[in-house]
Amino acid sequence: MAGGGPAADNGVLKRAHLYEYNITGYFIFACVVGAIGGSLFGVDLGVSGGVTSMDDFLKEFFPAVYRRKQAHLHETDYCKYDNQILTLFTSSLYFAALVSTFGASVITRKKGRRISIICGSISFFLGAVINAAAVNILMLIIGRVLLGVGIGFSNQAVPLYLSEMAPAKIRGAVNQLFQLTTCLGILIANLINYGTEKIHPWGWRISLGSAAVPAVLMFIGGVFMPESPNSLVEQGREKEAREVLERVRGTKNIEAEFLDMKEASEEARSVKNPFRNLLKRKNRPQLVIGAIGIPMFQQLTGNNSILFYAPVFFQTMGFGSGSSILSSLITNAGLVVGALMSMAVVDKLGRRFLFIEAGIEMFCYMVMVGVTLGYKFGDGVALTKGYSVMLVIVICLFVTAFGRSWGPLGWLVPSELFPLETRSAGQSVVVCVNMIFTALIAQCFLVALCHLRYGIFLLFAGLILVMTVFIVLLLPETKRVPIEEVYLLFENHWFWKRIVGTRQPPEKEMGEKDATEIREKEANLQA
Ligand code: BGC
């Protein structure tokens, strides 16, 4: 089956039309292991959110928070009880992740994606065990830092690994396994929390310890999974790279793809400092869109804040103490549905279509939430049941739209934009920026809600508008474009071509011997 497709046929690309692939068991195994990385991320997001609101947990470690929580059980206002220390405890994981991801970058580049995935799983396992056994706050914090390091490693290596292993034609769907398993992880964690909350006084230990299960699975998988061929070429292990590529693609005709990898690796070897290289003019689009813009905007959509606020609406609808679990079941189901929708169409309709279509919807939903709350809620006035029902529906539509656009594409698109020489460095910046904004939003949301009131949702609406225009103007379509040929899109983009110029022919960038070899092979291929 030949790769390629519309984007590859428009004359911009080099050898995309010559790529061949089959779906092999070897490839499926690699994807499954890679996707477990997403579930680690999800289980942790879900477990920590739930445990920090469990009474037994609060009584043991944060008694003052517990007492004040009891005094604020019935909210009809924007200024909900806000505890910065507890939020900081939750955010400590993101801070550990954003620092460790830079260490992960060096390992991912020099030793390969597999080793980073294995390191991530070990750190995750230790963190889960220490947290489950915690008898004081220090143990809790050490556990969370180790979990954060696990996320720093796995979010750095997994999206990248999936994008490299996938044939160009289905790369979008394969990479989005990461988001799908993240959402499933959150959903499962919520169900576990629902059960363990009833086990007094130590049920929270099961919740925190449950993160060890996907960590063990990922470790076992990591030991047996193949390294990505791109990484093997990058490390100079060309023979192995060729063998893995043949087995993963299920064909001997891998010459075109292999040549692209080899060219990319020649360039990569000449780069001494990949972080400094990321700042070069030729990598400006990747820096602006992939490393900073997309991960930052993903968090500025306000999705996590909407998820956070949803239980209040469910409570108002009369679901009482079950409202939290119900709302998280429904909203997370929305995220899973969104991820499945995205997987089905991302390689046909493209990334831009999803970003733009869902962006317009998300803008409208945020305006609806803001305006409804503005007129119908606050200053001691509770929402009526009718408006709560409407808001719950709007929230479901919002999370489904996020779940098929900024959620999965926020990890997919950056992982496919960077050239090999800065791919792992670039992905570290992606994780770092994503974590900074996740922590920032978590830390500031309640304070902002208290002061801006319903205006915070209108602010998110404005930001969604800005990010949609950003995509329309600056992101070229990457669907079906081989990962090592994506840079060509910028050389032909209406705006970026003025910044990046055109790359030199191979012989100027690599040794004469390699260039001649590539030219000869290319001539054979074309013949
Ligand atoms: C985001 C998280 C979010 C999750 C589920 C991920 O892509 O990075 O911040 O919580 O999706 O919505």
Q: How many Å apart are CA 505 and CA 508, to the nearest integer? A: 6
Task: List, for residues 322-372, the tens digit of each pLDDT value.
Answer: 677 788 788 889 999 999 999 999 999 999 999 999 999 999 999 999 999
| pLDDT tens per residue, range 456-498 | 999 999 999 999 999 999 999 999 999 999 999 999 999 999 9
Asked whether the predicted pLDDT for residue 7 surpasses 70, the reply is no
Q: Which helix (H) or strand (E) holds 36?
A: helix 25-51
Instruction: Taking the CA atoms of 183, 189, 190 and 192 in sequence, report the sign of the dihedral they define.
Output: positive
Which pLDDT score, from 0 to 100, does residue 75 have? 57
Amino acid at 485: E
The mean pLDDT value for 179-201 works out to 92
Q: What is the reported pTM?
A: 0.87
**Average of per-residue pLDDT values in the chain:** 88
Which of 387-391, 393-397, 454-458 shows the lowest per-residue confidence on average (mean pLDDT)? 387-391
Cα–ligand 1 centroid distance for 500 (angstroms):
32
Binding pocket residue ranges, ligand 1, CB within 6 Å = 45, 179, 182-183, 298, 303-304, 335, 407, 410-411, 434, 438
Residue 220, Cβ neighbours under 10 Å: how many? 13
User: If we measure between CA atoms, which residue out of 203, 447, 403, 413 comes closest to residue 307?
Assistant: 403
- Cα–Cα separations (whole angstroms), residue 168 to 5, 83, 135, 351, 479: 9, 46, 49, 13, 8
Beta bridge partners of 20: 2
Q: Which amino acid is at 511?
A: G
pLDDT tens for each residue of 233-279: 999 999 999 999 999 999 999 999 999 999 998 888 888 889 999 99
- Structure tokens, 236: 């100079």
What's the count of helices (H) and strands (E) in the chain, helices before strands? 28, 0
Question: Tens digit of pLDDT for each residue in 403-439?
Answer: 999 999 999 999 999 999 899 999 999 999 999 999 8
Give distance in angstroms: CA of 440 to centre of ligand 1.
14
Atom 8 of ligand 1, residue of closest alpha carbon: 407
Q: How far is the CA of 303 from the centre of ligand 1 (A)?
A: 8
- Omega before 285 cis (within 30°)? no
What pLDDT sits at residue 329?
Answer: 83
Q: Would you state the pLDDT for residue 8?
A: 44
Instruction: Report the separation in Å between the CA atom of 352 and the middle of ligand 1, taken as the mean of its atom positions.
Output: 19
Q: Write out the E strands in 293-375.
A: none
Reported as a pLDDT band with limits 50, 70 and 90, residue 2 is very low
The Cα–Cα gap between 200 and 219 comes to: 32
Q: Using 50, 70 and 90 to split pLDDT, how confident is the model at 80?
A: low
Q: Which tokens belong to 407?
A: 């959620």
Pocket test for ligand 1, best of 91, 179, 307 (most atoms within 8 A of CB): 179
Mean pLDDT computed over 280-284: 95
Confidence label for 165 from pLDDT (cuts 50, 70 and 90): very high
* Angle (nearest 5°) at CA 361 between 357 and 362: 115
Q: Two tokens at 490?
A: 């910028």
Residue nearest to atom 1 of ligand 1 (CA): 407
In 3-state terms, what secondary structure has residue 145? Answer: helix
Q: Which residue has the tokens 């939750």?
A: 90
Rama region for 458: left / alpha / beta (φ>0; ψ in -120 to 50; rest)? alpha
**DSSP-assigned beta bridge partners for residue 378:** 381
Single out the residue of 99, 103, 92, 185 nearest to residue 144, CA to CA: 92
